[in-house]
Structure 1
Amino acid sequence: MFFSIIIPLYNRPQEIDELLYTLTKQTYLQFEVLVIEDGSVNGAKDIVKSYSEKLDISYYFKDNEGQGFTRNYGFARAKGDYFVVFDSDCLIPEDYLETVKDFLLEHQLDAYGGPDGAHSSFTPIQKAISYSMTSPFTTGGIRGNKKHIGQFHPRSFNMGISREVWERTGGYILTRLGEDIEFSIRIQSLGFKIGLIPGAIVYHKRRTSFKQFYKQVHFFGRARINIYKHFPSELKLVHFFPACFTIFLFLGLILNLLKHPLAAFCNTMLGLWVLLIFFHSLAVNRSVKVAFLSIFASFIQLAGYGLGFIQDFWKRIILRK
């Protein structure tokens, strides 16, 4: 089995250097790497070139179109039987391709996704953000958990598709705003088999500050409404949870300002949730600092997503703009 690893890149030369280094350590060697620079100003051509003797690697530069169409650009030039997509801010364990190859030979998936985790080298904020994006008390375990809620949809920071999937689907039809989920739904609608490979973990850095993280999750909230516009049946009750959480915070603030009797109930419920986050993160990360930061990250994750969701729900569904 020959893999083609597709990596879209936009103004992140340091990240691609770290990612490519981890790929030189792979125990399974039947793969090529395609780095597609999506109109970057701060390019990484020299960094990619420095790996030419360590990896079967190709570098391409194209006009900026967004990550979805940039992946398509890579698919069209890939030689592999299976295409693997990584975000540039990932670190890849040395047995990743070996794990994926063994699983695919046994289970014959047409498309797969894998979980993400926090590497030991990550900063406390990065570990807290990673926790908030994978915790059962925030995302409900939908991002790479074996017991996720609802239909599993691979996320494009860590996913793979067969060549046949690419040839029949034509790849992404959205370049941003939920492009990976739309693609996954369309793959499934054509009868292809999709599954989670639990051992195919990557270490996903995500964002390095809470401000950057807020912008990212706000975008994710908006993206869920964009997916709804293409697939109305994919807007589930669980997707309203961050918006409900955000409204609950707003109402709780008003009740406290008005000194309403219900304020005590809101404060108690919120306090219990905070304690759940703290002690669960402490058990997962074994760090009081990360557990404390996980509280802030979880607030940002839910409120940021909720505000983005509410914004586009009001604009695109209620007002029909």
Structure 2
Amino acid sequence: MPEISVLMSVYNGEEFINESINSILNQTYKDFEFIIVNDGSTDRTQEIIESYDDNRIRLFNFEKNQGVGSALNFGLSKVRGKYVAKADSDDIFISTRLEEQKKFLDENDDIAVVGGLIEYFPHNKEVEESSRYKSFKSLIEVNKNKIINPKDIREKIYWYCCMNHTIMMIRTNVINKIGYIDIPMGTDYNLFYQLNKLGYKMAKINKVLAKMRISKTSITAKNKDYYYKQSLFSIKQEEINNLFKENNQVYIWGAGSMGKNLFYVLTANNLNIKGFIDNNKEKAKKRIERKEIYGPEIINRKGIKNIKIIIASQPGKFEIVKYLRGKGYKHLQDFLVYS
């Protein structure tokens, strides 16, 4: 019985799936099963997968699209290995990925999940020149790759998904305790978030193990920010509700589109925001949905007590956290990072 089960779900992936499958089949570690769940694809995905003559591939086809969470849970029910290695259908993996991650878990019994560093690459020249791709390279890739050790990951997982699902290898007996949920976005983040809350340790190998494709048609690109915020709320609901207890006055730090969409999500869940905070002085004294925008000095204003902060600023979250900690604020007790 193979010790590693590679798990992939795919929906209409004909354009890229050959490269991804080849990068798995050509791994230096050979003894694995490759579970692929074709989630109701309507293109040539099934035909392409069936063209491979490799007995390590175990293909399961859904007649209708059921969503990522359902497809992955089904795949988990078919796993026979000691470790599950996730692989997205449009990414490319270096040849030693499985070998290095298995060795790491074999030698570190206290670690439940091991990842690695990632490198984003553009699908074409148009994507390469887009502001979205440049943001992924200069901001997201950099911030994710500098968070490596278990202690840092344990804190930052509460902030955002600093682990990469496509490069995850996890102990099968651990992932079966959580599984996947069906939400519009973030089923991978929910997995890491819940594992973290249960005390499971995660780590990364300090080496690029996957190249992640950025394309115009990626799931992330097609979903709007508001729906992402809704998914984040379902994941972080317990920690958010804790900030609203007693007579706390809760402010959103970030008066841009992220902050606005967060406000709408919180309002829809009957949580009352006192106002907004933003570093941009031009926004001060203005309002969003009748809620005033303040500068950071509101935190020090006399007579105002029990101020709690939800940070909704992608580029500024690290500096905002530093500022709040300088004022004596404690993570999850006085503030949390939403995105």
Same fold flag (TM > 0.5): yes
Q: Is the 8 A contact 1:9 1:40 kept in 2?
A: yes
Cross-structure match for 2:57: 57
Q: Is the 8 A contact 2:112 2:170 kept in 1?
A: yes
1:163 equivalent in alignment to 2:172: yes
Alignment of 1:80-99 (within 5 A): 80-99=81-100
Moved over 6 A (4+): 209-212
1:218, distance to aligned residue in structure 2 (A): 5.4
Q: Is the 8 A contact 1:117 1:130 kept in 2?
A: no
Q: How far apart are the structure 2 equivalents of 1:133 and 1:167?
A: 31
Cross-structure match for 1:132: 135
The one-letter amino acid paired with 1:151 is K
Q: Is the 8 A contact 2:76 2:176 kept in 1?
A: no
1:188/1:118 CA distance change after superposition, 3 Å? closer
1:161, distance to aligned residue in structure 2 (A): 1.7
The one-letter amino acid paired with 1:316 is N
Alignment of 1:1-321 (within 5 A): 2-53=3-54, 56-62=56-62, 63-108=64-109, 109-119=111-121, 123=125, 125-126=127-128, 129-133=132-136, 135-136=138-139, 139=140, 141-146=142-147, 150-152=155-157, 153=161, 154-169=163-178, 171-199=179-207, 201-208=209-216, 213=221, 215=223, 219-229=227-237, 231-232=239-240, 243-244=254-255, 246=256, 308-318=261-271
Task: Give the structure with the larger strand fraction.
Answer: 2
Q: Is the 8 A contact 2:8 2:35 kept in 1?
A: yes
1:87/1:140 CA distance change after superposition, 3 Å? closer
Structure-1-length-normalised TM-score? 0.66
Report the secondary structure of 2:177's partner residue.
helix
1:216/1:16 CA distance change after superposition, 3 Å? farther
Q: Is the 8 A contact 1:118 1:203 kept in 2?
A: yes
Q: How far apart are the structure 1 equivalents of 2:98 and 2:89?
A: 17
Higher relative contact order (CA 8 A, sep 6+): 1
Aligned CA-pair RMSD: 3.4
1:307/1:13 CA distance change after superposition, 3 Å? farther
1:141, distance to aligned residue in structure 2 (A): 4.9
1:70/1:203 CA distance change after superposition, 3 Å? same
Report the secondary structure of 2:214's partner residue.
coil
User: Which stretches in structure 1 are left out of the alignment for 5+ residues?
Assistant: 247-302
Identity over aligned pairs, percent: 21
Report the secondary structure of 1:40's partner residue.
coil
Report the secondary structure of 2:15's partner residue.
helix
The one-letter amino acid paired with 1:197 is I
1:6/1:134 CA distance change after superposition, 3 Å? same
**How many residues are treated as equivalent by the alignment?**
253
1:226, distance to aligned residue in structure 2 (A): 2.6
Structure-2-length-normalised TM-score? 0.63
1:167/1:102 CA distance change after superposition, 3 Å? same
Q: How far apart are the structure 1 equivalents of 2:66 and 2:225?
A: 21
Q: Is the 8 A contact 1:177 1:226 kept in 2?
A: no
Task: Give the structure with the larger helix fraction.
Answer: 1
The one-letter amino acid paired with 2:120 is A
1:142, distance to aligned residue in structure 2 (A): 4.7
Structure with higher Rg: it is 2
